[in-house]
């Protein structure tokens, strides 16, 4: 393998990892918003 190929592979792997982290945080944020909304609705009638 040439050094250019190795660098391309490393950059590709890092991009995939960063994309995965972004997707995970996006899904986690949606779940947290849903839970916060449920808690607000539950505590409002009081």
Q: What is the pLDDT of residue 46?
A: 56
Q: pTM of whole model > 0.75?
A: no
1-46 pLDDT, tens digit per residue, is 688 899 999 999 999 999 999 999 999 999 999 999 999 988 886 5
Q: How many CA atoms lie within 13 A of 33 on its CB side?
A: 6
Q: What would the 3-class secondary structure string for the chain be?
A: CCHHHHHHHHHHHHHHHHHHHHHHHHHHHHHHHHHHHHHHHHHCCC
């Amino acid at each position: 393998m040439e050094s250019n190929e190795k660098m391309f592979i490393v950059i590709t792997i890092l991009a995939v990892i960063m994309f995965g982290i972004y997707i995970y945080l996006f899904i986690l944020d949606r779940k947290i918003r849903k839970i916060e909304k449920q808690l607000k609705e539950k505590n409002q009638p009081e």
